[in-house]
Structure 1
Amino acid sequence: MSSASSLGMGLSALQAAQRGLEIAGQNISNVNTPGYTRQRIDQAAASSTDVPSMFGRIPAIGEGVVVLGTTRIQDQLLEVRAQQTRGAATAATQVANGYSMVESAFGEPGDTGLQAGMAEFWSTWGDLATDPESSAARTSVLEEGGRLASQFRELAGRLSTQWGGTREALSSSVDRVNRLAQDVGDLNDAIRASKVAGVNTSELEDRRGQLIGQLGDVVGAIAQPMEDGTMTLTVGGSVLVSGAHVSSLAVSGPSTGPGGASPVSVVWAASGTPATVGAGEIGGMLTTLDSTIPTVMSRLDAVAASLASTVNAQQAAGYDATGAAGAPFFAGTSAASLRLAPLTAAGVAASSAPPPASDGKNADGMSALSELQSGPDATYRDLVVSIGVQVQGASRRADVQTALAGQAESARLGVSSVSVDEEMVSLMGFQHAYEAAARFISAVDETLNTLMQMAR
């Protein structure tokens, strides 16, 4: 080994140690940077340039060290698992929030809920049964009936408002997905070009990783690394981003309320083909829009229809103050359309027989409707209990999914996040390597000086 090659070997060691110090310092300085992935220097022994001849052997040794570049420390299996569990947790949380909104709309138990309104309505009929000729009692029945119908309409309106708000949020989330996907496509293009030019792309990849994490939260996107450094993102098995190419999403279906000809769905904008979105915020919103709120509204409509038909049937079985058979008390067959029929106080059928009888038996029978096992009160109670059970179940599922996502994220960060202790040890190691390389160069320099003095 020549003196020049020895100095070159020492120089390469100095440069490698310096690069290692820089990488360790970079990791330490970004220990609190969101989305930062720790880096590691890749180095290898430089091979000898000597080529042995057929009949001779050259005791070739290495030429020092070569820095190959830097690597972001990641475990792709843990990355995918974290993306999947985060998407599932976000969807479960969104579904739980949807049920909580529905539960809050009912306000049960409480003095302003439908249960209290129906109880007050039946109570006025009981008061009328004790004094069937009282005009005030008849007026009270009409007022409570109108108030009860108004409560049904208001509750239906609150549910429709919640549906509309979720529908708007869905459109905003889809627009956000399209923007994030375009940003990922742009970064894919930049990273691929940088790798071809031999430029370090760690910071660009960290930025892309943050965007991919956001896409996982919003739409449940899964990333797969490609050989050219790009990331391919899929949603429900279909490609969202491939290289610089991006497929946009759009929202399809009714925008004014549930019950349209088709459910709300997310489709691929170019083809109109439905996209399979079962995770992320969007997956949870679709569940709320197409299942949670429409199901509750349908059951509430059934309660309103039961109330109208039951009361109207009992009203028709009695006689009003003029001796005519009772006319319909309620109009409408849904919670949103339930109204008090055009009826006067004299038209309330309190008696079971025409005048001169005024026994109040029909009013008493009306009051007893609250005890029917399959009547509107029982149907409404079943609905409220069902919502409460669903809220609890959805909350438990969200808690479980959130815990699983936390475990997966911890495992991922255990590999890719910066440990200050590890980096300090690495820093000390490269510092000692730098000092040793400097001493090696000094020793070679002293040897050269000694040889030159001996030659004089």
Structure 2
Amino acid sequence: MPNIGSILSSARSAISAHQVAMQTITQNIANAETPGYSRQRAELVPANPQRFPMYTVGTGVAVADVARLRNQFLDVSYRREAGRSEAYNVRTDLLGEIESLLNEPSETGLASTMDRFWSSWDDLANNPTNPTAQGVVRLRGEQVAYTLNGYDERLTELSNRTRAHLTGIITEVNTLGSQVATLNRQITAAEAGGQQSPDLRDTRDRIADQLSKLAGVQVQMQANGTMSVHFGSMMLVDAANARTLEVRNGTTTTIGYVGDPDPLHGIGGQAGEMMSFLNTDAPALRARLDSFARGLVNGVNEYHASGWTAAGDALGGSNWNTALGPTGSRINFFDAAGTSAATIRISAEVAADASVIAAGDVQNAPGNNTLALAMGALRDDVGMAALQTRMGASFGTLIGFGAAESFADHYTSTVTGLGVKASDAKSQYTVFETLTAQADNRRSSENGVSLDEELTLMLRHQQAYTAATRLVRVADEMAQSILNMV
């Protein structure tokens, strides 16, 4: 039968329960600005009642759990957008570095350097026997070669830095994956009694956020409270077990699990975009620069080897062919073996003596400037069409791009294409940065701490706590009254 003791017991349970609730609110307020913190709630439930033959009497209140308020669907949304945002951020940075590498438009860029090279041939055409004009042509040719060499060297440096950064990211992913596995084990042990471990879960979710940004992982919560982390169907973390990733550098850069020869697919975030740069963007730019260098070397040499210097035969008069007659100096302006951006260079003969640079295509005709004019004309598609007519079927193989596309057009399309990619990356980054912020705001509105809401709840629990203490006093007064009656 209910008695004064029952009243005291119910009041004490209320005092204890509301103390826990207020302590939880205090914890929320204290961590209002803590990154990744999820607000907590003391879940109050009626205590087990006392049952009598004709009725049931409550026995107070109990704390069922201190629960963490977290919406997994909002986490999934945030991590998806954050991974994409990080990917486009990296892409924007890398393409921006390539734009800086090419440095266009500028006086030191390849476009201006090529303009000066073609103009030097025009100047030589105006004065075919001038040694100074020949020296300027050699200098301008060297500048073209140095510019292309520099592009290739800096592109290699950028690729190496990116590869090293990718390796560092994968090392970090391995570390974070191991931490998730450890937390899975700790959470399973801590929650064996059926109660949540909010702080451990918050730590694990923060790590999952980082993994999403670094590698675009997918996260799935299991019924036993553990978190699995995977790339598509390939598991990185399963319960208390974590696998180790490695970067493999070969013809292409891939990522795989240690001990498993198959490469992983579906990697996103920063790591995914770095792989895309190393396997697609950097090789594509190098191929365009190499194509330019190959066409330039073969095109210029096609004319120059058939030309004659003011002295007649630059090699000392031994170019007669009994069947064909004189065939030109046969001196290449560029080294014929250097047909890539990395290897293009002035030929040894031209480097040693600028007087071997030919302006005409007729032997023993000092004023002839036909070859120099043809060289200068290569700056536009008319000159390229003339070169194609001259070379015939070998044009497509040796030059590598159509006659309708001049050297300037070829390089301009390279720079323009890069600019379009960079602009698109910036736009996409802006879009996904906004989507990430929106997803984070939605998540924070549910998971985060609202000081106004917490203070309101604190006031309610304080009032309930005060009422419970008054019940204790009432019960005490009732007990004293009974004692006084004895």
Shorter-chain TM-score range: over 0.9
Aligned to 1:16: 17
Name the counterpart of 1:43. 44
Give distance in 1, aligned partners of 2:261 and 2:78: 30
RMSD over equivalenced CA pairs, Å: 1.5
Is residue 266–residue 277 contact of structure 1 (8 Å, CA) maintained in 2? no
Matched, 1:356 2:365: yes
1:199: Cα distance to partner? 6.8
Q: Decide whether the 8 Å contact of 2:78 with 2:436 is kept in 1.
A: yes
Moved more, 159-168 or 437-446: 437-446
2:334 aligned with 1:330, yes or no? yes
**Is the partner of 1:336 in helix, strand or coil?**
coil
1:270, distance to aligned residue in structure 2 (A): 2.9
Q: Which residue of 1 aligns with 2:206?
A: 210
Match of 2:154 in 1: 158
Aligned runs of 1:27-66 on 2, under 5 Å? Answer: 27-50=28-51, 57-66=53-62
- Which amino acid counterpart does residue 424 of structure 1 have in structure 2? L
What does 1:133-212 align with in structure 2 at a 5 Å threshold?
133-196=129-192, 201-212=197-208
TM superposition shift of 1:94 = 0.9
Is residue 83–residue 216 contact of structure 2 (8 Å, CA) maintained in 1? yes
The correspondence for 1:339, drawn from 328, 338, 345, is: 345
Aligned partners of 2:292 and 2:407 also within 8 Å: yes
Alignment of 1:284-323 (within 5 A): 284-323=273-312
Map 1:106-117 → 2, pairs under 5 A: 106-117=102-113
- Check conservation: 1:319, 1:350, Cα contact below 8 A: yes
> Are 1:98 and 2:91 matched, yes or no?
no
TM-superposition CA deviations, 1:93-132 (whole Å, max 9, x none): 1111111111110000000001111111111111110110
Q: Pairwise mapping of residues 348-387 of structure 1 onto structure 2 (< 5 A)?
A: 348-372=357-381, 373-387=404-418
Question: Which moves more between the two structures, 92-101 or 226-235?
Answer: 226-235
Letter in 2 for 1:243: A
- Which one-letter code corresponds to 2:346 in the other structure? L
Query: Aligned letter for 1:299?
Result: R
Structure 2: which amino acid aligns with 1:171?
Answer: T
What SS does the corresponding residue of 2:57 show, helix, strand or coil?
Answer: coil
* 1:282 to 2:278 alignment: no
Contact 1:248 1:270 (8 Å CA) reproduced? no
In structure 2, give the amino acid aligned to 1:438: T
Query: Quick one: distance in 2 between partners of 1:104 and 1:42?
Result: 58
Q: Displacement, 1:236?
A: 2.7
Once the two structures are superposed, residues 358-377 of structure 1 have per-residue CA deviations (whole angstroms, 9 ceiling, x without a partner) of 31121111111111242222
Moved over 3 A (4+): 197-200
Distance 1:345 1:241 in 2: 66
Distance 2:227 2:366 in 1: 85
- Look up the equivalent residue of 2:16 and give its one-letter code: Q
Contact 2:128 2:366 in 1 (8 A): no
Superposed displacement of residue 223, structure 1: 2.0
Work out whether residues 27 and 38 of structure 1, in 8 Å CA contact, stay in contact via their aligned partners in 2: yes
Q: For residue 157 of structure 1, report the CA deviation from its aligned partner.
A: 0.4
Distance apart, 1:14 and its partner CA:
0.7
Using the size of structure 1 for normalisation, the TM-score is 0.94
SS at match of 1:365: helix
Q: Shift of the alpha carbon at 1:200? A: 5.6
In the alignment, does 2:407 pair up with 1:398? no
- For the 8 Å contact 1:127–1:137, the answer to whether it is kept is yes
Shift of 1:252: 1.0
Q: Measure the CA separation in 1 of the matches of 2:95 and 2:132.
A: 42
**Amino acid aligned to 1:10:** A
Q: Note the alpha carbon deviations across 1:2-61, whole angstroms, 9 max, x for none.
A: 2222211111111111111100101001111111111011121112243x6xxxx33112
Amino acid across the alignment from 2:208: I
1:257 aligns with none
Which residue does the alignment assign to 2:453?
Answer: 422
Structure 1 residues 306-335: Cα deviation after superposition (integer angstroms, max 9, x where no partner): 111111112134222343414221121110
Paired residue for 1:438, among 469, 475, 484? 469
SS in 1 for 2:107: coil
Matched-pair contact (CA < 8 Å) for 2:39–2:69: yes
- Verify the 8 A CA contact 2:309 2:366 in the aligned structure 1: no
**More moved, 223-232 vs 290-299:** 223-232
Question: Which of residues 122, 141, 150 is equivalent to 1:126?
Answer: 122
Counterpart residue number, 2:245: 249
* Separation in structure 2 between the aligned mates of residue 12 and residue 295 of structure 1, nearest angstrom: 72
CA distance, structure 1, for counterparts of residue 133 and residue 233 of structure 2? 65
1:281-321 deviation digits (Å, cap 9, x = unpaired): 10111111111111111111111111111111121342223
8 A Cα contact 1:310 1:375, kept in partner: no
Task: Quote the offset at 1:386 in angstroms.
Answer: 1.0
- The letter for the 2-side match of 1:355 is N
Partner Cα distance (1:387, 1:62) in 2? 74
Deviation at 1:401, TM superposition (A): 1.0
5+ residue gaps, structure 1, are 255-259
SS at 1:223 equivalent: strand
1:351 maps to amino acid:
G
Instruction: For 2:293 and 2:120, locate their aligned partners in 1 and report how far apart those are by CA, in whole Å.
Output: 19
Q: Does 1:3 align with 2:4?
A: yes
| Gapped regions of structure 2 (runs ≥ 5) | 314-327, 382-403
Contact 1:253 1:264 in 2 (8 A): yes
Q: What secondary structure sits across from 1:443 in the alignment? A: helix
Q: Percent identical across equivalent pairs?
A: 30
